[in-house]
């Protein structure tokens, strides 16, 4: 696991491509790969941004729930509904929606996806809120809902082409996880087009997030 992590970080740092911040919608013509991984889930998302206001993602999610392991394949559209650009800060509102499938006995069953996200960030502080729903072919009680709040600060102001470091606290509430509430502090490092986050929850579950834009 550690060697795989180091490999991914090295590959990312050696990449010569450019990027912007790890939002679901980036600049026109850009691509991104984002992944979030822990013992209880694995989430991979490949995104292409067509315009600065919308992008298309292909997503794979494996989630350990109280009903067992569930796997989803969801293509979805992401829209930047509103952005506020100020001299010292930026705020955004995003909406994502899609329709795909949940893998059940070698076939895919209809699943819809909806997410709302808003954030505000300056060079020193960062806060975001995300609400996400996976509505499955099963009865409504099987739907997965997640609320996520993140807050962070940068211990120093990094210039362009310097290593950026952040401390982030993440709170997640999920209706189908064994741990319905998870509090995870993260260390976030990013340089050029690569972002890495490492965290350990209050329950001792480690998490590794990785994002690259090109």
Q: Which helix (H) or strand (E) holds 66?
A: none
Nearest in space to 134 (alpha carbons), one of 168, 92, 167, 103: 103
How near is the Cβ of 136 to other proteins at its closest, in Å? 34
> Binders of other proteins among 96-155, rule CB under 8 A?
121-123
Residue-wise DSSP of 171-201 = EEEESSSSSSEEEEEEEEEEETTEEEEEEE-
Smaller CB distance to other proteins: residue 128 or 201? 128
**Total residues interacting with other proteins, rule: CB under 8 A:** 37
Neighbouring-strand partners of residue 152: 126, 168
Q: In the block, which residue shows the tokens 């952040």?
A: 166
For residue 191, state whether it binds other proteins (rule: CB under 8 A): yes
Nearest in space to 115 (alpha carbons), one of 67, 72, 168: 72
Please say whether the beta carbons of 214 and 19 come within 8 A: yes
For residue 83, state whether it binds other proteins (rule: CB under 8 A): yes
For residue 80, state whether it binds other proteins (rule: CB under 8 A): yes
For residue 22, state whether it binds other proteins (rule: CB under 8 A): yes
Smaller CB distance to other proteins: residue 29 or 69? 29
For residue 196, state whether it binds other proteins (rule: CB under 8 A): no
How near is the Cβ of 84 to other proteins at its closest, in Å? 8
Binder of other proteins out of 192, 196, 201, 210 (CB under 8 A): 192
Please say whether the beta carbons of 207 and 24 come within 8 A: no
Residues that bind other proteins (CB under 8 A): 18-22, 25-28, 30, 51-52, 80, 83-90, 121-123, 157-162, 164, 190-193, 195, 213
């Amino acid at each position: 696991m550690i060697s795989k992590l180091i490999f991914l970080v090295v590959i990312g740092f050696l990449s010569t491509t450019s990027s912007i911040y790890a939002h679901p919608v980036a600049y026109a013509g850009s691509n991104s790969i984002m992944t979030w991984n822990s013992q209880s889930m694995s989430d991979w998302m490949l995104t292409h941004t067509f315009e600065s206001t919308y992008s298309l993602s292909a997503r794979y999610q494996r989630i350990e729930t109280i009903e067992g392991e569930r796997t989803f394949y969801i293509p979805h559209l992401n829209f930047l509904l509103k952005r506020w650009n100020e001299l010292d800060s930026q705020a955004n509102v995003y909406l994502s929606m899609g329709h795909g499938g949940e893998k059940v006995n070698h076939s895919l069953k209809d699943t819809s996806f909806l997410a709302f996200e808003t954030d505000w960030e300056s060079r020193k502080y960062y806060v975001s809120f995300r609400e996400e729903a996976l509505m499955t072919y099963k009865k409504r009680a099987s739907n997965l809902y997640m609320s996520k709040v993140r807050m962070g600060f940068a211990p120093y102001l990094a210039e362009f082409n310097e290593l950026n470091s952040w401390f982030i606290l993440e709170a997640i509430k999920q209706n189908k996880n064994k741990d319905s509430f998870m509090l995870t502090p993260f260390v976030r490092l990013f340089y050029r087009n690569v972002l890495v986050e490492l965290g350990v929850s209050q329950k001792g579950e480690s998490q590794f997030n990785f994002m690259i834009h090109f």
